[in-house]
Amino acid sequence: MADEELLRLFASSACEPEPDEVLVRTGFANLWRGPEAVGGHLYLTSSRLVFRSHAVNIQTGMWIWPLASVTSLEPVNSLRVIPNGLELALSDGDRVRLVVNRRGAWIDAIQRART
């Protein structure tokens, strides 16, 4: 059974936690969507990465990427000099850029969850 925080995460979405899914890591993050850095929370579960925006953004919602679709994960710099970003390459060719605190810890946690 999924834990309470995981149930709250998916409560107002069309998704449900998988029976053996567990929450691994959470934190504040920004998701780059075109010119907007959408503010919100990033959640790493045992099977997916989930970004849920704050309500005050122009673009709002929930974005979900199965860990199985992540083909590579690279550190990137925000504004070309700030070492707080990461970029996911997905199996469909898309790229996802995020800004997080403690980038190295996020990369390690995602890589461990993918194995």
pLDDT value at residue 35: 82
Residue 5: per-residue pLDDT: 78
Closest CA to 46 of 83, 12, 6: 6
Model confidence, pTM? 0.88
Residues 6 and 47 sit within 8 Å (Cβ to Cβ): no
Q: Tell me the chain's radius of gyration from C-alpha atoms.
A: 14
Rounded CA gap, 68 and 49, in Å?
Answer: 10
- Give yes or no for residue 1 having a pLDDT over 50: no
Q: Which domains are assigned to the chain?
A: 4-114 (2.30.29.30)
Residue 14 pLDDT level (bands cut at 50, 70, 90): confident
Cβ atoms 83, 75 nearer than 8 A: yes
Answer whether residue 2 shows pLDDT above 70: no
Mean pLDDT of 17-39: 89
The yes-or-no verdict on residue 12 having pLDDT over 80 is no
Task: Summarize pLDDT for 34-85 with one digit per residue, the tens.
Answer: 888 889 999 999 999 999 998 887 787 889 999 999 999 999 998 889 999 9
Average pLDDT, the chain: 89
